[in-house]
Structure 1
């Protein structure tokens, strides 16, 4: 069920008014945008590159396809999709946060990635695209920051073509007790200190750790995707479920 916009929601462990969450999340990403890529490498020990590679392989993008990289941030997935869809294809890097979008655009243009990539500032809950438009939508490490996740999933379902595929790459729930304990210690004790050293912003990484704990677990997100109209929904756990890749189709 969608959240009432006049109601409260979670910002990490805090309870806040729903209409204020987007601005609070925006402040986090304005703060960390310039060092976002460095922090991704440091805090995941580079493993995020393997998670994203698996996402690209699962997407199976082909020449001529239209791809939406939603909450695409600094453009890691967009860069690879641009190569895969070729000159006749199109990739849209969309993000609600203009600071992240600017970093992504600069990074990709510096790498010579132009022509088949466009940049759109967009809210996942109300995507500004036509119905039945994209062959593939990916949202990597972005869904947990969305205020109304059900509304966002329905919006993604609307803009997918029949036969199109949604891939949700997101932090999830470790499967074993030992991993959970180690992960909790790392997330709440070490990660904020890394954030403080690298970005001078421990608070944003405290929010990151908390937002992961508040995000729906693997089975809950699977059911949310089904409720939004996706079919053949399944997921793959990676790194013991610290991250999961959910996949669903529109028919």
Structure 2
């Protein structure tokens, strides 16, 4: 994918990840100085998977986030658009159900899952706001959404240092370590053009989620976003609060 085509054609994105599947997790640990493992631990804590819960992990890759949730006893479905990633995931984690599919057209009925998670994948989706609406559709009322994604450090000096790292050090390391450095040039550009924490929070609210909040990790290099699909009772209360005096009288 040349210069990170921001249209993010699904076939090109899938092909890019097919080419990096076998070494993807190793390279992520290298390029993040091991922080990727800490970020996934924080995501796991935010999800709080319970035994018997149905959890959908979208853009699951090789199952690095899905496997710990399955180990906690949850019934995890790992979905990805890349056949290469799915093949590698099935090899590594035979106890996790891997499914091929698109984040914007999830192959599941509505009100199916107790939680939906996505780690470092939402920015690769061609229509991320459509994906958020799909996550809302397949969640049960009261279900949890957790999005772990690269973001923008709010402190100016940290942000400038991070941007310098993205422009210079990361591409150089990728050229040395990866057989597909173009994928990591895409990584840099996809992070740089991704909306900030407040904008993504607003997208999540617009998709219908309540109790939306985010927490910065590693000084805001990554942000952990959360939301809930409202129950019927919660939705009714929200409507009542916003009703006009005449409507309330009725």
Tell me if 1:228 matches 2:213: no
Q: Deviations over 1:194-227 (max 9, x none)?
A: 2222222221111100001111110010000110
Q: 1:217 to 1:12 in 2, by over 3 A?
A: farther
Q: Distance in 1 between matches of 2:210 and 2:2?
A: 30
TM, length-normalised to structure 1: 0.87
1:85-234 to structure 2, matched below 5 A, reads 85=73, 89-109=74-94, 114=95, 117-234=96-213
Give unmatched runs, 5+ long, in structure 1.
1-9
State the aligned residue count: 230
Q: Distance in 1 between matches of 2:81 and 2:25?
A: 18
1:43 to 31, 45, 51: 31
Q: Deviations over 1:98-117 (max 9, x none)?
A: 111111111113xxxx2xx2
Between structure 1 and structure 2, the one with the greater Rg is: 2
Give unmatched runs, 5+ long, in structure 2.
231-250
- Judge which range, 28-37 or 147-156, deviates more: 28-37
- CA RMSD in angstroms comes to 1.6
Q: Deviations over 1:57-85 (max 9, x none)?
A: 11111111001111111111111111112
Q: Match of 1:66?
A: 54
Q: Distance in 2 between matches of 1:11 and 1:237?
A: 30
Q: Distance in 1 between matches of 2:159 and 2:2?
A: 22
Q: Distance in 2 between matches of 1:136 and 1:145?
A: 21
- Judge which range, 96-105 or 160-169, deviates more: 96-105
Moved over 4 A (4+): 10-15
1:74-85 to structure 2, matched below 5 A, reads 74-85=62-73
TM, length-normalised to structure 2: 0.88
Q: Distance in 2 between matches of 1:62 and 1:186?
A: 38
CA contact (8 A) 2:201 2:225 kept: yes
CA contact (8 A) 1:35 1:198 kept: no
Q: 1:11 to 1:139 in 2, by over 3 A?
A: farther
